[in-house]
Amino acid sequence: MTSPFALLSLIIALPFLGMLFVLTAKDEENTGKNALNVCIFTVLANITLIWRVFMLIDDKKTTLQLFEYLKWLPRPQIDITLAVDVFSLLLILAVHLAILIGLVGVKNNTVKQKSQMVFTLLFLSMITGFFVAEDIFSFYIFFEAMLLPLFMLLGISGGIKRQELIYRFFLYNFFGALILFAATMTLYHYYGTMTLQQLQNLKIKDEIEFYVWGAIFISFLSRIPIWPFHYWISSINSGIRNPLVFIICSVMPLTGIYAFIRFLPSVSSLPVELYSTWVSIIGIITMLFISLIGFINKDSQYKIFSYITVCYILYLIGVYTLDELILLNIGYSAFSFIIIFAALEILSDYIYRKEDQYGSGTLGALCKVKRLSFAYSYLTIAAVGMPLSAVFINNFLILSKLLETNLRMGMLLIGTLFMVGITLLQELHRLKTENSSCRMKKEDDISLALFAFMLAIMFILFMSFIRPLWFVLDA
């Protein structure tokens, strides 16, 4: 089925057009309200388009749909193909919602708002392109292109004090992208231009298979905070003092996981099995490691980071099973997970801004602010896997399949999920512990508008628990 009105191109182009519009937006000095409004409007418009795409596809099918073809270069012959399936569309929607939440989180930010909005929209365009790319070239281009706005956002608005961390982070990701370039070129050299579906069914020549898969694994893993390189990403994430940038940065590992889904062959080969076994082992070590450090770390940002990392690695290990049901459930679970961590991050940021304002600790910060307390509790409880979002059922399915493969591995995974859940609950407990020195008052509660927005987010999460694709109306 081909896409009507080039809808897929449109959902890539719309944030890009929005970016151009933001560039021309007039703003009073340093307020950036216009830029923010344009950005929010663009994201909302694109969400509507994505919803429309959902209505056009067959949500019962797990295969790619709505193909768009574009002949790009005749020599060397490079054709662009775009397509989506339920999984990729869910991720696109989740990223849009997460960025929308992030935008709400920075609405009072007055410093370099315009440039922040420009790069946010550019990032959104690139990541959407990445999720709909169906040939190796466009896939590579978007894979690499999203680094630029990310780097700019980190540098301009991230609030990271140690600038060398940003260079390190960029170099690390850039190195990964270069390796993917080498793998893509090798594949092109031997087999010419191809779609990702063709690549999945391709039997790569024995003499290069080991190297090509090695390069692909390294490049995709460079996006995921896996041991021992988690330290690079964790030092960046825990240093970010801007919720929008944190959310965008935390979405990056998703690209690594999605890339594995699109590249892994439908019939596993020896190198792939070998690499995925090793990555699974390292992944479990990372999960244990991060969950333990998250437990002892006092920084709430690190706690959220440890939660995010553990969930991503769980999805990654799930991806290696190559089970269609698991893949679909990873999509459903990731949809809620992304929204949860984005919403948690902006509330956490709100609390820490108040702390800065009063110069007091955050112990007991939620005691007198009912709206904030309710929203924070709901999100934490949903994050740990209680039946308030799609994370609940879908993680059950993913873990059952992993337990089927290896009981010990599965139990370790459950153990890390438990640890990271306790880490989040520990933070909730700390924020709710009565403390006389806490200076947050009733008046410091979130505004009614923000609370209404949070209620809408909670509604989306709860509906995703009842039925993952509840927003897709049956024809």
Binding site for another protein (CB under 8 A): 168, 228, 231-232, 235, 289, 292-293, 295-297, 325, 328, 366-367, 373, 377, 381, 384-388, 392-393, 396-397, 399-404, 407, 410-411, 414, 417-419, 421-422, 425, 428-429, 432-434, 466-467
Distance from C-alpha of 303 to C-alpha of 154, rounded to nearest angstrom? 20
Q: How far apart are CB 388 and another protein at their closest, in Å?
A: 8
CB nearer to another protein: give 23 or 367.
Answer: 367
Distance from C-alpha of 124 to C-alpha of 39, rounded to nearest angstrom? 10
**CB-count burial class (<10 Å; 0-12, 13-18, 19+) for 467:** exposed
Q: How far apart are CB 431 and another protein at their closest, in Å?
A: 9
CA-nearest of 413, 418, 394 to 402 is: 413
Distance from C-alpha of 75 to C-alpha of 188, rounded to nearest angstrom? 13
Q: How far apart are CB 304 and another protein at their closest, in Å?
A: 17
Which 8-state DSSP code applies to residue 263?
H
CA-nearest of 88, 91, 96, 81 to 15 is: 96
* Gyration radius (Cα) of the chain, Å: 22
CB nearer to another protein: give 231 or 459.
Answer: 231
CB nearer to another protein: give 218 or 403.
Answer: 403
CB nearer to another protein: give 73 or 325.
Answer: 325
Q: How far apart are CB 410 and another protein at their closest, in Å?
A: 7
> Cα-flanking dihedrals φ and ψ of residue 2, to 5°?
-95, 160
Q: How far apart are CB 363 and another protein at their closest, in Å?
A: 11
**CB-count burial class (<10 Å; 0-12, 13-18, 19+) for 425:** middle
CB nearer to another protein: give 260 or 378.
Answer: 378
Distance from C-alpha of 341 to C-alpha of 339, rounded to nearest angstrom? 6
Does residue 174 contact residue 147 with C-beta atoms inside 8 Å? Answer: yes
Tell me the β-bridge partners of 273.
none
CB nearer to another protein: give 6 or 414.
Answer: 414
Q: How far apart are CB 370 and another protein at their closest, in Å?
A: 11
Q: How far apart are CB 399 and another protein at their closest, in Å?
A: 5
Does residue 141 contact residue 62 with C-beta atoms inside 8 Å? Answer: no
Buried b (16+ CB within 10 A) or exposed e, 74-95: eeeebbbbbbbbbbbbbbbbbb
Largest CA distance in the chain: 72
- Helix residue ranges, H only, 297-390: 300-319, 324-358, 370-383
Q: How far apart are CB 385 and another protein at their closest, in Å?
A: 7
Contacts of 239 (CB under 8 A, 6+ apart): 158, 159, 160, 161, 162, 165
Q: How far apart are CB 382 and another protein at their closest, in Å?
A: 10
CB nearer to another protein: give 35 or 365.
Answer: 365
Tokens for 123, please give them: 């990032």
CB nearer to another protein: give 128 or 348.
Answer: 348
Question: Residue 109, by phi and psi: left (phi above 0), alpha (psi -120 to 50) or beta?
Answer: beta
Q: How far apart are CB 186 and another protein at their closest, in Å?
A: 17
**Residue 287 vs residues 280, 315, 436: alpha-carbon distances, Å:** 10, 12, 36
Contacts of 153 (CB under 8 A, 6+ apart): 116, 119, 120, 123, 244, 245, 248
